Amino acid sequence: MQAFDLYAVLPELVLLVVACLLLVASVYVPERQPATPGVEQDIFHTPRGVGFVYFFSIILLVYLVFAFLGRIGDVSVVAMNGLFQSDPISNLLKACSCGAVLVSLVYSKQYLSDRALFRPDFIVLALLALLGQCILISGANLLTLYLGLELMALPTYALVAMRHSSEKSVEAAIKYFILGALASGFLLYGMSMLYGVTGSLDLIEIFRTVADPRINHLVMAFGLVFIVSGLAFKLGVVPFHMWVPDVYQGAPTAVTLMIAAAPKIAAFALLFRLLVNTLLPLMGDWQPMLVLLAVLSLVVGNVTAIAQTNMKRMLAYSAIAQMGFVLLGMLSVFDDHAFGASMFYAITYVLTTLGSFGLLMMLSRKGHDCETIDDL
C-alpha cells in the first residue's frame, strides 16, 4: 500500500482498527456485571465497562466527522488500484453518516440502558455498519460497492434481533435478513451481467464501454432491471417496500433509528454511483423505471401513513414516500441544481428522522415504549 493510498483510506482504517479493538475489549465486558464486595475488578468487569466502550466510540465518531469535513476541499482521487474514490461529495456524505450514527448513539444510551440492551456489541455492530457505509459511499468498483453494501447490511440484521426475547424482533430480523439477501442477490446478478457485457468491474471503464453503441443492449437492459430492483429493495420503495414497516415496528426504537437514518445516505450514494456516474448512457432505460417507483412510493407511502396508529409504522411509510422524492431528484441528472437539491433533501430527511425517533425514545419509559399515537 502506497502512502497516497494510505492517506485516502486513513479514516476508514482508523474506524476498522478501533471497532476491532472495541470488539476484543467487549469480550471482557459481561452482560450483567457482578459486584463482589472487597474484590477489585478490572474496568471491563465493572458497570463502567460498557461506558468505556461507549466513550471511545463517541470520540472516534467525533474524529471521523471532522476528518471527513476537513477533506471536502481536497481534489478527487482514486486509490487502492481503482477500488476506492475520495471526492468532495463522498466526504460530505460520509461526514453526515458519521454524524447520524453519533447522534443515534447519544439518543440510544438511556433507552437501551433501561431495557438491559446497552451492551458493547450494539456499539461495535453500529461502528461496523458505519464502516460499510463509508466503503459503499466511496466505492469506485462493483466489487467494492457490493462488499460495502454487505458490510453495512449484515450488522443491522444482528441489531434488529438484539431483543431476542421478543417475537416481533425475531420476526422482523428474519424478514429483514431474507428480503435483504434477496435484494443483494438481485443486485449481484445485475452486476454480473454488467461485468459479462463490459468485461470490467471498474465504474469508469464500465461507463466508457456502455457508451459504445456496439454493446449487447438487450443483456445490458436485463442487468439494469436487476440492478434497479436491488436498489429499490435497499431503498425500501414501492413495490419493494414490504419489509420496511415490519422491521421498523419490530426492532427496538434505537435500532430502528440506526436503520432509518445513516444507511439512507449510503443508499443515496449507491444510487448515484451506479445510475448517474456509471450507467448514464442507459438513462433512457432506467429513467422510466425510476419514475414509476417514485410515483408509486409517493402515493402508497403518503396514503398508507395516514391510516397508521403506530408511530413507527407511520414513520416507516413516511420514509417510503420520502425516498420517492429522492428518486425524483435523480431523474434530472443533467441539472446540477436538481442533484444538489436531491442530496440536500436526503440529508434533511436523515436529520428529521433523527429528531422523530429521538423524541420517541425520550418519551419512552422503563418498561414501556412510546409507539402509538395514544402514548404521546
| 68-81: pLDDT as tens digits | 999 888 888 888 88
What residue ranges do the domains of the chain occupy?
3-375
pLDDT in tens, 79-130: 888 888 888 999 999 999 999 999 999 998 888 888 878 888 889 999 999 9
At residue 43, the pLDDT reads 42
Q: Which residues contact 317 (CB under 8 A, 6 or more apart)?
A: 244, 245, 300, 301, 302, 304, 305, 308
Q: Which residues contact 351 (CB under 8 A, 6 or more apart)?
A: none
At residue 104, the pLDDT reads 93
- Determine the 3-state secondary structure of 141 from DSSP: strand
Give residue 375's identity as a one-letter amino acid code. Answer: D
Average pLDDT over residues 339-357: 89
Angstrom CA distances, 204 to 149, 198, 210, 246, 256, stand at: 19, 11, 10, 38, 35
Residue with cell 434481533: 161
pLDDT in tens, 262-307: 999 998 899 888 888 888 888 888 889 999 999 999 999 999 999 8
At residue 145, the pLDDT reads 92
Q: Could you give the CA distance from residue 109 to residue 107 in angstroms, rounded to a whole number? A: 6
CB 225 within 8 A of CB 286: no
**Cell for 321?**
414516500
At residue 317, the pLDDT reads 93
Pick the range with the lowest mean pLDDT from 46-50, 179-183, 213-217, 358-362: 46-50
Q: Could you give the CA distance from residue 55 to residue 68 in angstroms, rounded to a whole number? A: 20
pLDDT in tens, 136-165: 999 989 999 999 999 999 999 999 988 888
Q: Which residues contact 165 (CB under 8 A, 6 or more apart)?
A: none
Q: Could you give the CA distance from residue 11 to residue 17 in angstroms, rounded to a whole number? A: 10
Q: Which of 107-111, 187-191, 217-221 has maximum average pLDDT?
A: 187-191
